[in-house]
Structure 1
Amino acid sequence: MFKIADRHFNFSVSYAREHGKLFLLWGGAGALFLGGVTVLWAATLDIPDLSSLESRVVEQSVKIYDRTGSVLLYDLHGNMQRTLIPLSAISPNAEHAVLAIEDPEFYTHNGIKPKAIARAAVMNLVGGDLLGQGGSTITQQVVKLTVLTRDKTISRKLKEWVLALKMERQFSKDQILELYLNQVPYGGELYGVEEASMAFFGKHASDVTLPEAAYLAAVLPAPTRLSPYRAGESGRNEQLDVRKNLVLDKMYEHGYITKEELDEARAAAVAFVPPKDRSIQAPHFVFYVRQYLEDKYGEDALERGGWRVLTTLDADLQGKAEQAIYDGAMRNDEKFKASNAALVAIDPKTGGILAMVGSRNYFDTEIPGAYNAAATKPGRQPGSAFKPFVYAEAFRKGYTPDTVVFDLKTQFSTACSPYNQTSDGDCYSPDNYDNKFRGPISLRNALAQSINIPAVKVLYLAGLRDSITLAKSMGITTLADPARYGLTLVLGGGEVTLLDMTSAYGVFAQNGVRYDPTAILRIEDAAGRIIEDNSSPVGTQVLEPEIAQQINDILSDTQAREPLGVNAVLSFPGHDVALKTGTTDNYRDAWTIGYTPNVVMGIWAGNNDNSPMQKGRVSGLVVGPIWAEVMQYALSIYPAEYFSRSDRQSAQKPALRGEWQVPGGDGLVHEILYWVDKKDPTGVPPINPANDPQYTFWETPVRAWAGSAVFAPPPQELQPASAGTQIPPQQPQPGQPPVQQQTTPFYYEIL
């Protein structure tokens, strides 16, 4: 075998010796031919006159319009600001920061870096995108900024390399760096380091400090996402701060600064000048749209796309909403210590966003106003505004608006005694917003009046996991693993965004049909070609129509809502309007969300720093007047529509249709767990109700309540044959809390 292999090897060596010159000849000829073609092709490429570039960019800028196409909300380059300055007028800090993070070998390469190109090619090949990473030098970026379009093609990339080599021969390194620092976009209408320095810091590029220079360089990869005015709850753009520190680290790595300078710059507090551009309408919405475009189509499309973006925004409603939010937030700041508010309005028939106001004033740096409290995740706790999703899931399982549970002080934690009425430690015994307990109450009244204790019981009956699943299907995107939540979820224990909540309520308005929220109607390129068209959205049935109609009927029932005391503000005679309020128990968030069949609107109020509002103030007082003002305007400009209401079908089981006074086999009145099996509510009653781990906890306060109250018996035919002594006929009276005792706790799984 080895002899055969040796013969093959010797033959190969001999063949290579004999024909090697021929291979070299043909290979050399091929290389010369390709090189000659490349040289001839490269010779045809000229660097154009740079003086014409500014008008070229303006002509291709992206314009964002309202839904009519007649109101220009924002022209990304309509007020282009660029001040050309020599390299000598730019701080060395600014130069070095850019070089350190963008192209440390700028002064040693000849325009391209073959190793970087090869590395990028390998990464692109592994990632399945041959044109993904570019390995670009500053010279290549100047070519892209001044000569070529930004479409990703192999031929364009080849041109970029050739032109970069030619540019290095035609211009000095300092000239190329000067071109770059004067041409590079910093977001919106800002071009060049001088305009960015003036806009961000109120000073010339020659005067920026080291940390300021690091920020200028940090913005460059993604001027929208890394904008200093794209603030988080802290009032700053945390991603930008991280990138700034990376720039400083690179400056230290490449010898531009000392370790002491690095530490001082990282720790330095840098203040940004408030944005001065007032040529933008609906700024929170515009930047929401802009982020969508950047995420889907890339930053290049925003800079050079020349697109006409037709959005879903109703400019009239937006104007009314902005004024109402501003007036209401300023009023609330003085009266209730709630300094901010946000609003979202959606067309539930399409999912189109009609209005979005992310703060009382986008340009207000005190709160800070640029933070979009309407859409930024993870959001805020919704309070009782989350309850309709849980009640809807309960109705799906067979409970009805007439089903009765007991509103009594109850301990829900099986780690504690049912006689322990505190929420200390592992215990959980919530209160109602008014600290009153109503005894037996229908689910209709409990939801309409936003009573907490019945809501916790409904979540247990409906199931935590199933309730979260329904909420997610309706549009709530921020809820995590159900294991993270407990029975507090129904009182707003999870974080949600106002946009998600408003969109999800739209499912009720549309009889269970879900339309994803969208801000875009249509996008056209400069030639009129359609890039994106959402004018005919398709919805998904995620909730049974009859269940949605039950929720609509309850939330629009002003009579059932009357004891809540908000009808004086939240009443719209002649219109079918459903609504729900919500306030977190720590008074940090107040909500009102409501809808008609053709518009759904949500408002949040509170403080960006999550500090509490004035205690004792419910959402009806803080948010209600603002919501009512804007909804009244919406009702005046949109046609009146009314909810569908199907015939109500009575449940077969007496307990599910509200017959709570039926005595059990022991002759006593009982909570609903005596009559229904949580796993099969419409089936036969449980043989031993005490097998349910919550039974004793719910029954204990009922026993105490029944001992201090008497009530009328039900019709004779509804009493079970095994019923004991009849109970004297009188009307129910609320009872006193049971006496504190200690018993052995039960443990249970609520999922």
Structure 2
Amino acid sequence: MKFLANSTKFILWTLYALICALVLISASVYLYLSPTLPEVETLRDIRLQTPMRILSADNELIAEFGEQHRSPLHYEQIPTQFIQALTAVEDSRFEEHFGVDPVGFSRAVLTVLATGETDGPGGSTLTQQVARNFFLTRDKTITRKFTEILLAFQMERELTKEQIFELYVNKHFLGYRSYGIQAAADVYYGRDINDLTLPELAMIAGLHQAPSAANPLANPDRALRRRNFVLGRMHEMNYLSDASYEAAIRQPLSAQYRGNGPGLEAAYLAEMVRAFMIERYGDAAYSDGYTVHTTLNSQLQEAATRGLRKTLSEYSRRHGYLGVENHFATAGRTPPEAYAYWREVVNGTPRFGGLTPAIVVRAEDRRLWILPRDGTLTTLALDEMEWARERIDVDTLGPAVTTPFSIAVPGDLIRVEQVNGNWQLAQIPDAQGAMVSLSPNDGAIQALVGGYDFLLSKYNRAIQANRQPGSNFKPFVYAAALDKDFTPATIVNDAPIVRADDALEDVWRPRNSGDRYLGPIPLRQALYQSRNLSSIRVLESIGVNYARRYAERFGFERDKLANDMTLVLGSTVASPLEVARGYAVFANGGYRIDPYFISSIEDNNGNVIFESSPAVVCRGCPETPTPYWSEDETASSSATGVDIAPIELNLEGEIDDQPVQTERRYAPQVLTPQTTYLIDSMLKDVVRRGTGRAANQALGRDDLGGKTGTTNNAVDAWFTGYNGDFVASTWVGYDNNMGLGQIEFGGRAALPGWIEYMKTALNGQPSNNLSQPVGIVRVRIDPQTGLLAQPGQAGAIFEIFKAENAPTEYSRESVTIDFSGGDGGDSGNGDENITPQMLF
């Protein structure tokens, strides 16, 4: 009995000693490690590395820039079933413990020892894992483990369970550059986390322990077992009924690589945004979670991309087949080996411009058998390939296609596209182009395409290409003439001109398209038929210096404007954005706007740190800047050289990390309402009956104005047009300044893309014309002289004038003039107009 009492006493003292030793050791460890512990408070303001997101005006994703794909969520945004799934498999006592779970740790150890299974709940709590992920290394040392435990205790004291859970699910790497559960939902399912099914949520929950080993793409069998284990744990913890559990485990894996790519193709504008953000934020732009809201409209952007590619593809087909892209021989391979090799090649070849790569597998008399990327064997019929005559040069084609063997042989890599469900032969165009669309009311860029495909060429022709606009520039000179007392009825001679050129020690002999001359014609006809010689006489009358100063009103830089008579023929260089900005003045009633493409920027917490303040058009607002009409007046701010940065055209104010308050600004008025109304009516005639009449035939609207443009040898082809809501400019040409071909005028090479874009832009939109301002009169005139028509005079027409320039004399003689003018043409700087006086 005494022995038993002594033994009990010994055991108790031993336990007491052990407890004291543990307390002393723990206290010593705490005293030793506590000075080195990081401040848990910093987790409240932790900034996870989050990529920059660029969104359209209607919140479509344009691009992400950064190393890690992450979309942080707040606790209340996380589905309840996911919370249950993750805690069931990672930390079932998460709501009960205080950072460390002795029960869970012991259970995990016993499970491993008894079964050898490592898929079960781990020994570390979610809190410990957060401590390790944010503050510690993964070194397996006693010191690191003690530090982890101390940090877990400290975190549980200073943070809520919701905050800890939120940090955990947003930090974890889950495969394929995805960090956090929303990023994983994007990559594997292409949907929001709240739209996923129970099995899909369980799959993502299971990834936290083994993002590679249990990855549904790399190891689908292991991933399926892991997912079903998660569902089983949820069932054990009564989160799922028997029926729900059985239904869930029967579901197959549905994960596919969805990437984290954009839903909207706008890479050229995305690059403009990236350059802007890097300039202002440095490398932090890639990791601090900025969200950039742009002015781009997703439907308009898609229409612009489609329109430009369509017009380039049609041009390319007109000028013949460029040949196959490559050849992959299969000598020495068996047919199955050759087929497998070709499939590997074609599946590794990227798509460009929506065109699919394909390998020719067999050629027969009337068809080609092809293997498209990610597809199955199919055929191309000979009659669908008749356009593919060999291109000898831009104006010369080879013989007619009579056999598929003249196009491709087995092993050739070609391009195809689907049209009405059928594959057709295609090719990547060698010509390039650009399209940009602005709101004429504030300068917001609604759509921008800088080339056929950003992956083929990152050169942004919409803002960086300095090209000659040709006749596209004439309306700016004609507007200047209307402020020099010219009228739409002024008669201007369309006849040959010879001028001495002292600089070249030669003579200058400008020509009309086709060397056709109409004699004396009205200014209106000269513009809508794009008559060069009439236009030169207009410029001679008003003076080159005056015209150059006047052009600055539209935002053009004087140093870039030609300083001779070729100014009116468009020898000046400009980008499509600059030209569109100039035409916006005609569309909005005479106000100069500044293009911009960023509407606001948010930080990682959703705070707006920048908001644009564009100068808006406001007719009759008292705050509008004082207009200037004097011919000596020049624009106060010309468009800067748009080298990645029409940005600087209108991103007003400093950008910092504080909310920005913006004041309403108004666009300056640079043309009188009367001058704008007259030039607008003349540009509408270009669409109604001139070189741009294809737009009228296709769109059938009364509110469209615009102008074609073609330079010498068809090096550049343009169409810029507008109504009251949209102004868009399209350019087509070669980067190396090669000619497009003898008949490739602006109305043929560029206008179809503009039409395709406007079909979408104007769909369902009411007509939006300028209102007739005070000071405009409508007068019945003799079109042959520009004077008042005699009562009852045959052939008289109505014309509009500024009241002070309306004719007061009656026509006295009958002059026979050819007003038919044919199609007018538009090549070799083809654009002509008529002035208010008879000019010979």
TM-score by length of 1: 0.51
Deviation of the 1:492 alpha carbon: 1.1
Asked whether the equivalents of residues 58 and 78 of structure 1 are also in contact (C-alpha less than 8 Å), the reply is: no
Q: Are residues 1:731 and 2:731 paired?
A: no
Asked whether the equivalents of residues 788 and 810 of structure 2 are also in contact (C-alpha less than 8 Å), the reply is: no
User: Are residues 601 and 46 of structure 1, via their aligned partners in 2, closer, same or farther at CA, if it must alter by over 3 Å?
Assistant: farther
Asked whether the equivalents of residues 398 and 656 of structure 1 are also in contact (C-alpha less than 8 Å), the reply is: no
Match of 1:340 among 384, 408, 432: 432
Asked whether the equivalents of residues 328 and 626 of structure 1 are also in contact (C-alpha less than 8 Å), the reply is: yes
Q: Secondary structure at the match of 1:503?
A: helix
Deviation of the 1:71 alpha carbon: 1.0
User: Are residues 564 and 353 of structure 1, via their aligned partners in 2, closer, same or farther at CA, if it must alter by over 3 Å?
Assistant: closer
Deviation of the 1:430 alpha carbon: 0.8
Q: Secondary structure at the match of 2:713?
A: coil
Q: Are residues 1:522 and 2:600 paired?
A: yes
User: Are residues 47 and 363 of structure 1, via their aligned partners in 2, closer, same or farther at CA, if it must alter by over 3 Å?
Assistant: farther
Deviation of the 1:549 alpha carbon: 1.1
Q: Map residues 584-599 of structure 1 onto 2, 5 A cutoff.
A: 584-599=711-726
CA distance in 1, matches of 2:316, 2:597: 30
Give the aligned CA root-mean-square deviation in angstroms. Answer: 4.1
Q: Are residues 1:497 and 2:575 paired?
A: yes
Asked whether the equivalents of residues 686 and 707 of structure 2 are also in contact (C-alpha less than 8 Å), the reply is: no
2:115 corresponding residue in structure 1: none
Q: Map residues 295-334 of structure 1 onto 2, 5 A cutoff.
A: 295=279, 297-334=280-317
CA distance in 2, matches of 1:334, 1:657: 43
Residues 494-537 of structure 1 show CA distances to partners (whole Å, capped at 9, x for unaligned) of: 11000110111111111111110000111122234332212563
2:730 corresponding residue in structure 1: 603
Q: Are residues 1:294 and 2:278 paired?
A: yes
User: Are residues 392 and 354 of structure 1, via their aligned partners in 2, closer, same or farther at CA, if it must alter by over 3 Å?
Assistant: same
2:672 corresponding residue in structure 1: 544
User: Are residues 425 and 733 of structure 1, via their aligned partners in 2, closer, same or farther at CA, if it must alter by over 3 Å?
Assistant: farther
Q: Map residues 334-733 of structure 1 onto 2, 5 A cutoff.
A: 334-336=317-319, 339-364=431-456, 369-377=457-465, 379-413=466-500, 425-477=505-557, 479-480=558-559, 485-534=563-612, 537=615, 538-557=666-685, 562=689, 564=691, 566-567=693-694, 571-636=698-763, 638-646=765-773, 649=776, 658-659=785-786, 731-732=816-817
1:271 corresponding residue in structure 2: none
Asked whether the equivalents of residues 577 and 595 of structure 1 are also in contact (C-alpha less than 8 Å), the reply is: yes
Residues 191-236 of structure 1 show CA distances to partners (whole Å, capped at 9, x for unaligned) of: xxxxxxxxxxxxxxxxxxxxxxxxxxxxxxxxxxxxxxxxxxxxxx
CA distance in 1, matches of 2:671, 2:684: 19
Give every structure 1 segment of 4 or more consecutive aligned residues whose post-TM-superposition deviation is greater than 6 Å.
44-49, 654-657, 714-719
Q: How many residue pairs end up in the alignment?
A: 425
User: Are residues 354 and 446 of structure 1, via their aligned partners in 2, closer, same or farther at CA, if it must alter by over 3 Å?
Assistant: same
Gaps in structure 1 of 5+ consecutive residues: 1-43, 82-145, 148-188, 191-275, 417-423, 663-681, 684-713, 720-726, 735-751
Deviation of the 1:657 alpha carbon: 11
CA distance in 1, matches of 2:496, 2:771: 37
Deviation of the 1:626 alpha carbon: 1.4
Tell me whether 338-347 or 301-310 shows the greater mean CA deviation.
301-310
CA distance in 2, matches of 1:733, 1:343: 36
CA distance in 2, matches of 1:466, 1:334: 44
User: Are residues 539 and 48 of structure 1, via their aligned partners in 2, closer, same or farther at CA, if it must alter by over 3 Å?
Assistant: farther
User: Are residues 433 and 661 of structure 1, via their aligned partners in 2, closer, same or farther at CA, if it must alter by over 3 Å?
Assistant: farther
Q: Are residues 1:71 and 2:60 paired?
A: yes
TM-score by length of 2: 0.46
Asked whether the equivalents of residues 650 and 657 of structure 1 are also in contact (C-alpha less than 8 Å), the reply is: no
CA distance in 2, matches of 1:361, 1:655: 52
AA at the equivalent of 1:383: G
User: Are residues 285 and 616 of structure 1, via their aligned partners in 2, closer, same or farther at CA, if it must alter by over 3 Å?
Assistant: same
Deviation of the 1:412 alpha carbon: 3.2
Q: Which has the larger radius of gyration?
A: 2
CA distance in 2, matches of 1:62, 1:74: 8
Residues 6-39 of structure 1 show CA distances to partners (whole Å, capped at 9, x for unaligned) of: xxxxxxxxxxxxxxxxxxxxxxxxxxxxxxxxxx
Q: Secondary structure at the match of 1:427?
A: strand
User: Are residues 570 and 283 of structure 1, via their aligned partners in 2, closer, same or farther at CA, if it must alter by over 3 Å?
Assistant: farther
Return the structure number with greater helix share.
1
Deviation of the 1:611 alpha carbon: 1.2
Deviation of the 1:544 alpha carbon: 1.4
Q: Are residues 1:283 and 2:375 paired?
A: no
Q: Secondary structure at the match of 1:541?
A: coil
Residues 617-656 of structure 1 show CA distances to partners (whole Å, capped at 9, x for unaligned) of: 211111111111111211105443222223674799x999
Residues 281-309 of structure 1 show CA distances to partners (whole Å, capped at 9, x for unaligned) of: 300011112223334x1424523442221
User: Are residues 531 and 563 of structure 1, via their aligned partners in 2, closer, same or farther at CA, if it must alter by over 3 Å?
Assistant: closer
Deviation of the 1:658 alpha carbon: 4.9
Asked whether the equivalents of residues 399 and 656 of structure 1 are also in contact (C-alpha less than 8 Å), the reply is: no
Deviation of the 1:661 alpha carbon: 12
User: Are residues 632 and 440 of structure 1, via their aligned partners in 2, closer, same or farther at CA, if it must alter by over 3 Å?
Assistant: same
Q: Secondary structure at the match of 2:309?
A: helix
User: Are residues 570 and 463 of structure 1, via their aligned partners in 2, closer, same or farther at CA, if it must alter by over 3 Å?
Assistant: farther
Return the structure number with greater strand share.
2
Match of 2:52 among 62, 71, 86: 62
Asked whether the equivalents of residues 570 and 624 of structure 1 are also in contact (C-alpha less than 8 Å), the reply is: no
Asked whether the equivalents of residues 683 and 705 of structure 2 are also in contact (C-alpha less than 8 Å), the reply is: yes
CA distance in 1, matches of 2:510, 2:718: 20
Deviation of the 1:360 alpha carbon: 1.1
Q: Secondary structure at the match of 2:507?
A: coil
